Copies of this chain bind each other. A is one copy, B any other.
Amino acid sequence: MKYCSTCGHPVEQRIPEGDNRHRYVCASCDTIHYQNPRIVAGTVPVWEGKILLCRRAIEPRYGYWTLPAGFMENAETTVEAAIRETVEEALADVNIEGLYSIIDVPHINQVHMFYRATLKDGQFGAGEESLETQLFELEDIPWDELSFPTVRKTLELFLEDFRKDDFSVHVKDIRRPMPLSSEKY
């Protein structure tokens, strides 16, 4: 951020009065531009004991397998976001069975939330952001070709719970060294 989105003047980084963190503040109109984590919402879509995965047609991690998930949009709920992403990436209509995993990823300012889901009719396909989609038996999950740590973590938890037939909600975090450019925040 270099310019104020309210008035177009340059912003500076400083700690506003009454605050204790560096923020982008407009030097002209004094607007404080807060920056906050974003939610990635998705599903673990199941059909007849198999899990539906999508092979990514976009960067990052082009060609790797993922659970359907993406950035939550304004004016929707986390459940609606998870259902929408499953339609968009896997052309699959799902029933939501319950919240499954919340994985904080603080070094990239994201919170990933996955819901357990069941395909409504077994239909699926490759949406615009997927090269292909496929139902995997649990023992055939392509562990070496998964896209993101949160997908891997969620699938690991899911397999464990699936074998016990006992699903609870998991809150986890995945930490990496903070990027240099974010050190001030």
On A, residues with C-beta under 8 Å from B are: 1-11, 18, 21, 33-39, 71-80, 98-99, 102, 104, 106-107, 109, 111, 128, 169, 171, 173, 178, 182, 185
Contact = CB atoms under 8 A, between A and B. Distances in A.
A173 B128 CA distance: 30
Contact of A106 (B2, B39, B76, B169): B76
A73 B21 contact: yes
A169 to B, nearest CB: 4
Copies in the complex: 2
A152 to B, nearest CB: 18
A79 B171 contact: yes
Given A5-B5, A8-B2, A39-B39, A77 B106 contact: yes
B37 A37 contact: no
